């Protein structure tokens, strides 16, 4: 059973557009929600993360929106660039320090 | 470069065999995490060690085992290999046991079981 459900599976966006990736979870014990970016042939790298006591976190062009009541969180990439083309994973951590990852979204930004 | 090293980069072996994957965490990091990434299952957490002790266990098969040594490097042992074990295996490290901060991922080991 997938603990964290991620959509869409793939996304194509024009340069300068907004990329939006969504994740949903069921376990209310999750206490940390990171997003990872992975380029081909590389390991995932932390992009941005949020704790459930905050509804939004912004770092540069990347924003996490967190809706605790709906048990959903999303990644927004503003002014998307070709260099943002990568696979993005959302994740959630439980109180036992186990991480659960979404299935990934392959983002392609067209010049 | 995350500072986490993994060896070997690629490994090809046959069903029924046993392999060992090695991970060296970033200097000073005490926690090591192992993950399996396959096309159909995505990124799956396997196990975490902190300063030599097992701290969290995920979807790790009984045929798999891991340990962290006094110098903090870690090894993941996979035995009685099956075709379905073919995947990318990542190691990640972080400074603390509870990783509210960044987990730094290594480049991965690609295991192919024929």
Kindly report, residue by residue over B1-23, the tens digit of the pLDDT: 889 999 999 999 999 999 999 99
Cβ contact, residue pair A97, B107, below 8 Å = no
Considering only CB atoms, which residues of chain A are within 8 Å of chain B?
32, 34, 36, 41-46, 51, 89, 91, 93, 96-104
Mean pLDDT score of chain A: 94
Percentage of residues of chain A with pLDDT beyond 70: 99
Q: How high is the mean pLDDT of chain B?
A: 92
List chain B residues with CB under 8 Å of A39.
none
Structure confidence at residue B97 (pLDDT): 66
Query: What CA–CA distance (Å, rounded) separates A86 from A35?
Result: 12
Of A46, A51, A100, the CB nearest to B103: A46
| Residue B2 contacts A, CB cutoff 8 Å | yes
Band of pLDDT at residue B49, cut at 50, 70 and 90: very high
Max CA separation in chain B (angstroms): 39
Which pLDDT does position B99 carry in this prediction? 57
Residue B77 has pLDDT above 80, yes or no: yes
How do residues A13-33 score in pLDDT, each as one tens digit?
A: 999 999 999 999 999 999 999
Reported confidence tier of residue A68, pLDDT bands at 50, 70, 90: very high
Q: How many CB atoms are closer than 10 A to CB A34?
A: 23
Rounded Cα distance between A3 and B64, Å, is: 22
What residues in A contact B2, CB-CB < 8 Å?
43, 45
CA distance A18 to B24: 38
Query: Which residues of chain A have a CB within 8 Å of the CB of B102?
Result: 46
Q: What is the pLDDT of residue B101?
A: 62
| Residues of B with Cβ-Cβ distance to A96 under 8 angstroms | 56
Measure the CA–CA gap between B2 and A38, rounded to whole angstroms.
Answer: 13
Give the pLDDT score at B10: 96
**pLDDT exceeds cutoff 70 at A39:** yes
Contact predicate A32/A97, CB 8 Å: no
Which is more confident, A52 or B76? B76
pLDDT at B42: 79
A vs B: CB pairs below 8 A: 55
Burial A39-68 (b: 16+ CB within 10 A, else e): eeebbbebbbbbeeeeeebeeeebbbbbee
CB–CB contact A44 B90 (8 Å)? yes
Q: Does B56 touch chain A (CB under 8 A)?
A: yes
Cβ within 8 Å, pair B43-A104: yes
Q: Tell me what pLDDT residue B98 has.
A: 65
User: How many angstroms away from the CA of B79 is the closest CA of chain A?
Assistant: 23
């Amino acid at each position: 059973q997938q603990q964290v459900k991620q959509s869409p599976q793939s996304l194509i966006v024009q340069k300068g557009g907004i990329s939006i990736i969504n994740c949903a979870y069921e376990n209310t014990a999750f206490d940390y929600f990171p997003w990872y970016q992975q380029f081909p042939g590389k390991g995932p790298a932390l992009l941005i993360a949020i704790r459930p006591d905050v509804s939004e976190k912004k770092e540069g062009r990347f924003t996490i929106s967190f809706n605790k009541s709906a048990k959903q969180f999303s990644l927004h990439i503003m002014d998307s660039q070709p260099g943002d083309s990568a696979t993005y994973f959302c994740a959630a951590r439980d109180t036992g320090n186990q991480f659960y990852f979404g299935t990934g979204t392959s983002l392609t930004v067209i010049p | 470069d995350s500072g986490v090293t993994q060896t070997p980069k690629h490994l090809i072996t046959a069903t029924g065999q046993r392999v060992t994957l090695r991970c060296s965490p970033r200097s000073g990091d005490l926690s090591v995490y192992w993950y399996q990434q396959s096309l159909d299952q995505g990124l799956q957490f396997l196990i975490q060690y902190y300063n030599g002790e097992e701290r969290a266990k995920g979807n790790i098969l009984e045929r798999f085992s891991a340990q962290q040594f006094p110098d903090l490097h870690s090894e993941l042992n996979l035995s009685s290999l099956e075709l379905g074990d073919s995947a990318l295996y990542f190691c990640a490290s972080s400074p603390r046991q509870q990783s509210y901060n960044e987990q730094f991922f290594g480049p991965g080991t690609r295991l192919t079981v024929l």
